[in-house]
Structure 1
């Protein structure tokens, strides 16, 4: 009974982890029930006979979890069946010309030759990646048709029935897979890449704090890891095979959602490779946190600010890229974060050149410089990932990010406005417009801001400045069209 309970718990866990698995199971049952009607319905059985079993076999071996995998297997099986059927008929015809004695010998030679060549082709990496299944079906179909044709007089009828049932079974799988709760491999690949970038960003955003938050444990200083998500990046290390299989399946899929036909799936593999390289550096950097040899707290405090900035800005860049992939928009502020990380890297280099590490022990120095080198590599890889993401955004036609306006229009209420003008320095005419509609309410009055209009007199034109609220000055000129933006202190 305990084993039964374990199986039930495991089934619940799998279903809860991805409910699409339950739906896929029902879809397989549905399509098998449909093709089984070739046996249950007498007119269909009279047309195909026992060859109807080929439709059932096709459903069992072709129907996969995703649309791309099902479509790829279905097309490969149909194409291999057609090609092998045609060659099988040709081989049977040539063998029959040699007479009763030579026919079995020639058929054996044909079967041996095609089986040997097809099996050898399966060792080619590119062929194995996309056409391994079709070659397997080709070997099977050619052997069945050519060998069975030796005893069967109506070879064409036999071939026609088998090919027809294979096509019917494959078509049933494809239609059910596409139109009944479809699972797109391309969408899964996109989500996987987004999740991997987000996991790296979480580590980098937390690393600066983890590095500086030291917990005393006797004579050894260890980092307190209170968040289990801190080590989630480790799943990225072994994601290569999953990414490659999803990319291979995605190539078979038609356009769907935001993914057009001939979507640049190959670029996803390029980005995924860079992400894994970054994850390997992060894994090495994570091991440094709990290393036995650590530099003194004083040195850590001196290096804290640039190290924290390097890690934080890299994490922000990764987070921005994750959001960009999720929404399929072009990354906007990631470039700025990468530049900030590189600036912090230069600051750290200058700090190291100042000679603060002269009194550090050699073993501690090696450990510290290794960690710094890893963090610099992570910044460089972040920049490469961003460049690849820009290429993907261009090839996949990601949308431009709509930035919020710099100045938000505030609703204007009815008020009594009074104003006065004064002459400032450098021939400036300052006009102050004050909103007095507060009806004696002190809190409301304090929330009001003065609006200052500054008219600057220049040689050829007059510039009018509008100072609104507490942050900015917008300057414009009626004659030359010049505009500028300045930061000011609020006038209240």
Structure 2
């Protein structure tokens, strides 16, 4: 009887425990929300969205993170395996530190830092050992004085060398490591007996860390900074070309495209080319370290990319001035007699220069010469010459209000400057095409698919010196 009564009680208690256990997770979440402020939760959500956006914008960032983790894991094996650890001891940590410091996003940056670190460590360590060896011959009392003098001279001299622009651009990191290594070896040698062993272990472990970084960086989804520079210069030219192609229609309120009323993004694209000097110079310096890859040879003319970027920025500043006139003209109507005289020339200049810049951008991207750039530039020059006549006539007319001509003349002057900039950019790209061996344009437009013959259709009309009948020979397809 007791068992019969106790069983229902046990069942009830178990069911009560289950009911109290089921909502435990929801209670925990509610408890966490009550403790953690809502502001912190929103911050975490914002950071998660930002991290997702970074990965979507450039998936190479995610791959780079995994590559760094892999490289550090590989050099950490010196600590995990006893035979390797016994060979280097605590000095194996220099390999890990080297990977952390040397491994960069691109191959050029990693190679430049790696070579700088290895060479600087080798030279600094060797010079430090030499300084310690010379100091030993000066006696116990003179040794610290000699070492201090060497440290002062070397540190001061190398620090001054770092101020040279070319040295700072390419070897600044190596010079800094040179000072650090020399001071560590020479100063620590005063208390350490085995100076050569210490310098040897440091050089070897740093070389191992640098080689590991280079191998992982090059063999696993390499990022070539030279290719990024190549694409950036081409993209900036294309953005300028898009602005100029649509400038005429926007300036005179010509709406030939249904999308032009809604999509105005091409009017802002030129702004990305205004502040690219530092990034382009940095990429060009790093690209010089990269080995031959793809379409880029070892001594690729990266300096011409800097020249093209400088000319592109000059053109972008002219376009920025045009954009300011474009915005101001929205509130100031043009006199019809002036607009009718210059509208066609304005539109022709902006359209032809825009097409020329887009052709140059395409030539850089595909590394193939363009056959139509000179035609577009010639058309824009012809339109510029035509544009001068209305202003000369307007100035000579007595009833002309000069204040009405000034805005039009200013825009005309800017457009002519853009034509000049386009000619300079075309000349620079032509030099780049010559030195980088761009492919020639395909002029075989009459080539019949599947047939190697160039004969398409034509006629041969021989000129006879006699009065006999002339024969016409027609060759069909």
Same fold (TM over 0.5): yes
User: 2:58 maps to which residue?
Assistant: 18
Q: What whole-Å deviation, never above 9, does each CA across 1:151-197 have from its counterpart, x for those lacking one?
A: 11011101000000000000111111111100001100100011011
Question: Structure 1: any 5+ residue segments left out of the alignment?
Answer: 216-222, 412-450, 470-492
Query: How far did 1:111 drift?
Result: 1.1
Q: Distance in 1 between matches of 2:450 and 2:204?
A: 70
Residue 182 in structure 1 maps to residue 222 in structure 2: yes
Residue 337 in structure 1 maps to residue 358 in structure 2: no
Query: How far did 1:355 drift?
Result: 2.7
Q: Distance in 1 between matches of 2:66 and 2:443?
A: 45
Query: How far did 1:350 drift?
Result: 2.2
User: 2:28 maps to which residue?
Assistant: none
Q: In the alignment, is the contact (CA less than 8 A) between 2:391 and 2:409 conserved in 1?
A: no
> Higher relative contact order by CA 8 Å / sep ≥ 6: 1 or 2?
2
Query: How far did 1:11 drift?
Result: 0.9
Residue 269 in structure 1 maps to residue 306 in structure 2: yes
Q: In the alignment, is the contact (CA less than 8 A) between 2:124 and 2:182 conserved in 1?
A: yes
Counterpart among 458, 462, 465 of residue 459 in structure 1: 465
1:310-321 maps to which residues of 2 (within 5 A)?
310-321=349-360
Residue 354 in structure 1 maps to residue 393 in structure 2: yes
User: 1:278 maps to which residue?
Assistant: 315
Q: Which has the higher strand share?
A: 1
Against the structure 1 CA distance between its residues 191 and 452, is the aligned structure 2 distance closer, same or farther, given a 3 Å change threshold? closer
Q: Secondary structure at the match of 1:355?
A: helix
Against the structure 1 CA distance between its residues 466 and 277, is the aligned structure 2 distance closer, same or farther, given a 3 Å change threshold? farther
User: 1:191 maps to which residue?
Assistant: 231
User: 2:410 maps to which residue?
Assistant: 370
Q: Distance in 1 between matches of 2:470 and 2:79?
A: 92
1:312-461 maps to which residues of 2 (within 5 A)?
312-355=351-394, 358=397, 359-406=399-446, 458-459=464-465
Q: What whole-Å deviation, never above 9, does each CA across 1:306-334 have from its counterpart, x for those lacking one?
A: 11111111011111111111111012110
Query: How far did 1:368 drift?
Result: 1.5
User: 1:106 maps to which residue?
Assistant: 146
User: 1:136 maps to which residue?
Assistant: 176
Instruction: Please report the TM-score for the alignment, with normalisation by the length of structure 2.
Output: 0.84
1:152-167 maps to which residues of 2 (within 5 A)?
152-167=192-207
Query: How far did 1:465 drift?
Result: 6.4
Query: How far did 1:354 drift?
Result: 2.9
Q: Distance in 2 between matches of 1:224 and 1:377?
A: 28
Q: Distance in 1 between matches of 2:266 and 2:476?
A: 44
Q: Distance in 1 between matches of 2:391 and 2:473?
A: 46
Q: In the alignment, is the contact (CA less than 8 A) between 2:394 and 2:400 conserved in 1?
A: no
Q: Distance in 2 between matches of 1:180 and 1:146?
A: 39
User: 2:25 maps to which residue?
Assistant: none
Q: In the alignment, is the contact (CA less than 8 A) between 1:203 and 1:233 conserved in 2?
A: yes
Query: How far did 1:75 drift?
Result: 0.4
User: 1:2 maps to which residue?
Assistant: 42
Residue 308 in structure 1 maps to residue 347 in structure 2: yes
Q: Which has the higher helix share?
A: 2
Residue 232 in structure 1 maps to residue 269 in structure 2: yes
Instruction: Please report the TM-score for the alignment, with normalisation by the length of structure 1.
Output: 0.81
Q: Secondary structure at the match of 2:394?
A: coil
Query: How far did 1:229 drift?
Result: 2.6
Q: Distance in 2 between matches of 1:392 and 1:286?
A: 30
